[in-house]
Structure 1
């Protein structure tokens, strides 16, 4: 087979494969970003609980993820976290802290090889001990993929989590549940350990694994929380990176009548592609991925105010941190479980402002119009501004809050809606967190494998009839076609004949032709 035409065909084949891949990608993008609930059924609730200017029915907690304590790189990860636990946590004063995996780095100095590193685990243990964080606040930690590099099983001596972590010391080596009791309700936190067993080395443990036994255990935990106000699930792995049996998929398994959110880490910030990886899953709960502490020094504050959930992802040492809890961001809602109707009966805008410095003033604008009343400090971080929610009963609105501290103005803006308009937060994050990456990788592998087989067949057997249709037909000799076709005066055929003759003369490739255009135009000219 002539090399020139082979190269042309291979180029076109590769181009066709690439276009097919893009088509499948955008088709899946379209599918996964479609709203999964055509009609949102809001949770039924009365107006007995009205968000007002009283410090009640409110608590908040912190999530931190992907710490990556390393003996080889960036010691400030440890020193900054130590300062955060000693100073910032005292300012925020959360009810509990979630540490969602990748507590240590477990990589060599060159960054290529991986192994369990007990020295890094001892550093993590010293960090918890020196800050005395466990004595002040419940610290709920669990493993990420870096924490189980080269760990044979949970009880193996190489598993530093077993001896040097907060929950490991309490014999919670796998998935576990923590119940937070308040005078206004009960809230469950279920941690999911999805580390592969045994722990593989990189890059083979990027995906988490849950067996049927793991899913059954999680179902039992979920059933025990049905009478609680909310269940909040947390894990290192987003559900999109979990390899789970399709018959016992995780999302339906964790979905109970009170599942509020699934909190995770692992994806960091996708190389700068997205710092806000949030979505609302088809089952109705929110899935919220958090960027890393390792590089970005990010952490999350999530508040439950009158059973309305709000959160903000903040940067270390950036003050003040402003979180509007009423009215809450409409695109980050779980309308099936959250009593969103309570916003309609509220009497005050409620704002949590965390700062070690004095707050000089707080005021708000809605749809560009400033409210006449300024924010009044209630207690702790809570500020309140009177408002009339009936003025915003229809459509989507924007609230802009400005806080002045040390002469500096800090502001946040969010959207809210009193009706059933629940918009999609982000197409990119919705696609990434709602798809199933193990399946996508498998299908991509199949496409590449089949493509290579096709190309190898072409290289081994030369030009063949790939498709028995004119526009994809190959032939070795132009003599196979009737001479009447070449004598035709059809203008289109004449042009093609001249182009073909010039090309074959230039390349000294007489007797070969690339495509079936001769055959196709020959038929046209014969009938002309």
Structure 2
């Protein structure tokens, strides 16, 4: 099991974060039918159910995510057959879960998104070959959609909805938004609940980044989880899988969220994909949800883990997740394209204390077994568990020889040993560490990762890196609102405060004297100078006010929000407005953050500050020239109407003073303007590539107004400064 890196450099981490932000019918089994009699489930959210037998009380599954099968990168599909099939043949999981972003849906330059049926055909053919060469039953493969799989799909069942025709789920009529898979064995049941939270209307990228659950879907998921508890007498362990992390899942229309629902239903873990290995390796989030107390019941808190898997696209990651008598553990493997499947081990009990989420009752009898799954092509001839004490410099405490489980078979490569867990009671979840060593029939040794354990179920403290906390522990739906409206409030103050200051000092000559003096200038003076002088160009100030009001109330641009041949739709700050949408004007929020935040922070805000700076610099130049004797003499010559060589000499002298002045702050401001132009051009061209060149280019809010404002501000400064 690989844990997140301990840290990143601040510069690299911030760069990654910026790139990341800019650059994201049901079949009901007869065995379960009686469980759900009389259950009220929203008709709009269908549930597909499957039941499979389980041998004993230990089961394991394999998860893959973010395949991004691409017409331009056929090796991703080829490696499913070349790498995944042999791995499945060795691991022999009960289920294979494909958690979204099955296809890439991008053009060769990755500038626009569109569905490509050839990619879905690649996926279907590859998975058929995987089934053939791995021995896994196709019915045990469950795939759900990711945002890439929904790019440009205007509605379910449209001609571009290839998931409904080429996915594994479509072949078994599992096209509901919820897939319920139950593994039943002995007195235990393991439930895997898959949830498809892709947008109802598949907006094209980049404004398709978040999961969008509905109130009905959340209610249906809760009902499915709750019903098993009510109807099954055996112990149930529940896990949920989806594509989107919780931090990138929006709230429902009524403000409901999955975290509370999952905690109330006591799920063990939520597994997902979406953010790829660069960020996904750092997603180990323990959700703790507290429920209010009353006079009859004390306040209680429930926890569940959230784990994201790295992508198949670039790293060929797979996850083996096991449940041993309700205890969940997992192992992430990176399949090496140049090597055959490497022998691996997954300790299923005792679990890693760093991923514990519930403590064992101290008075309860402790489990006296050690279990490990060994996945290898070769036969294991010796398996040994070793326990180390971290307080004694990881001194070896005990060696325990492990034997194949009584019902050992090639389909269940379980090794088992008995021990005395009472010897390892400790108040510290980090004290005792477990590692397993094995030798195969060819004499090659394999080892598991050394990891801490707690027989009492104590949880070890886990500290995420600051970047992991920023991305995974904050709710980006709320962060988007904060970032957007704080920026808008700043711009409103920037436009209104100078006018208020000007009004207050309108009849006060002290400011004019103070501005004309060279004494007493400090930071406060410079701020006042910047605000007041920057807003004195009434025409430019009014243009900025009008531009901001337009951005708040009117469409930013028009474009083909879904397919390349789809209808032209309008994008407002409040969302996309489309005829096919039932969500009013909020479709695509907060997904719009990939468009609105870069535009507001890297174009609009710098633009307004640059216009103020150019106006203030113009006033500073005029003030400096008014102090020169040459300027005074020149004014006298102009008043007297004289001309000739003497007048020309004074004009050239004045212009030389201006040019000298322009070597300072003026050139810096012009450089800032050039940077703004480059940022605007890049953002505008990216938007045009995504939603159509012509409609976006003809939308003045994002294509023309910023450039016109900059040109007007620069022209005003240069002409007034050079005017005699």
> TM (normalized to structure 2)?
0.54
* Residue equivalent to 1:186: 189
Q: Retained in 1: the 8 A contact 2:87–2:341?
A: no
Match of 2:492 among 453, 458, 461: 453
Moved over 4 A (4+): 339-344, 456-466, 477-480
* Residue equivalent to 1:366: 388
Q: Retained in 2: the 8 A contact 1:477–1:512?
A: no
Asked if residue 389 in structure 1 is aligned to residue 421 in structure 2, the reply is yes
* Residue equivalent to 1:197: 200
What does the per-residue CA deviation read over 1:440-475, in whole Å, with 9 as the maximum and x for residues that have no partner? 122112222223333445677888999xxxxxxxx8
* Residue equivalent to 1:266: 274
* Residue equivalent to 1:33: none
Match of 2:368 among 347, 356, 366: 347
Q: Retained in 1: the 8 A contact 2:56–2:185?
A: no
Asked if residue 234 in structure 1 is aligned to residue 241 in structure 2, the reply is yes
> Partners in 2 of 1:362 and 1:164 — Cα distance?
43
> Partners in 2 of 1:212 and 1:182 — Cα distance?
33
Asked if residue 328 in structure 1 is aligned to residue 328 in structure 2, the reply is no
> Partners in 2 of 1:155 and 1:96 — Cα distance?
27
Distance 1:346 1:458, change over 3 A: same
Shift of 1:169: 2.6
Figure out how many residues of one structure are paired with residues of the other and give that number.
Answer: 426
Match of 1:289 among 289, 296, 308: 308
> Partners in 2 of 1:404 and 1:477 — Cα distance?
88
* Residue equivalent to 1:39: none
Q: Is the helix fraction higher in 1 or 2?
A: 2
- Secondary structure of the residue that 1:61 maps to in structure 2? strand
Match of 1:278 among 278, 284, 287: 284
Q: Retained in 2: the 8 A contact 1:398–1:415?
A: yes
Shift of 1:478: 7.0
- Secondary structure of the residue that 1:285 maps to in structure 2? strand
> Partners in 2 of 1:111 and 1:139 — Cα distance?
29
Shift of 1:422: 1.6
* Residue equivalent to 2:550: none
Return 5+ residue gaps in structure 1 as ranges. 1-21, 23-54, 467-474, 481-507, 518-528
- Secondary structure of the residue that 1:259 maps to in structure 2? coil
Structure 2 matches for 1:478-497, cutoff 5 A? none
Asked if residue 310 in structure 1 is aligned to residue 332 in structure 2, the reply is no
> Partners in 2 of 1:465 and 1:116 — Cα distance?
59
Distance 1:126 1:451, change over 3 A: same
- Secondary structure of the residue that 1:223 maps to in structure 2? helix
What does the per-residue CA deviation read over 1:140-186, in whole Å, with 9 as the maximum and x for residues that have no partner? 11000000000011221211110101112333222221222223322
Q: Retained in 2: the 8 A contact 1:476–1:511?
A: no
* Residue equivalent to 1:169: 171
Measured on the aligned residues, the alpha-carbon RMSD in Å equals 3.1
Q: Retained in 2: the 8 A contact 1:180–1:188?
A: yes
Asked if residue 252 in structure 1 is aligned to residue 271 in structure 2, the reply is no
Shift of 1:218: 1.9
* Residue equivalent to 1:19: none
* Residue equivalent to 1:496: none
Shift of 1:360: 4.5
* Residue equivalent to 1:376: 403
Shift of 1:57: 1.8
What does the per-residue CA deviation read over 1:244-286, in whole Å, with 9 as the maximum and x for residues that have no partner? 13642222223344412111100112xx355142122114111
Q: Retained in 2: the 8 A contact 1:207–1:237?
A: yes
Shift of 1:225: 2.1
* Stretch deviating more after TM superposition (275-284 or 418-427): 418-427
> Partners in 1 of 2:187 and 2:363 — Cα distance?
16
Q: Retained in 1: the 8 A contact 2:372–2:414?
A: yes
Asked if residue 403 in structure 1 is aligned to residue 418 in structure 2, the reply is no
> Partners in 1 of 2:163 and 2:363 — Cα distance?
42
Q: Which structure exhibits the higher relative contact order, with contacts defined as CA atoms closer than 8 Å and separated by 6 or more residues?
A: 1
Distance 1:130 1:421, change over 3 A: closer
Distance 1:343 1:262, change over 3 A: farther
Shift of 1:301: 0.7
* Residue equivalent to 2:129: 130
* Residue equivalent to 1:120: 119
> TM (normalized to structure 1)?
0.73
> Partners in 1 of 2:279 and 2:191 — Cα distance?
32
Shift of 1:391: 1.1
> Partners in 2 of 1:383 and 1:445 — Cα distance?
55
Q: Retained in 1: the 8 A contact 2:97–2:142?
A: yes
Distance 1:372 1:193, change over 3 A: closer
Rg bigger for which structure?
2
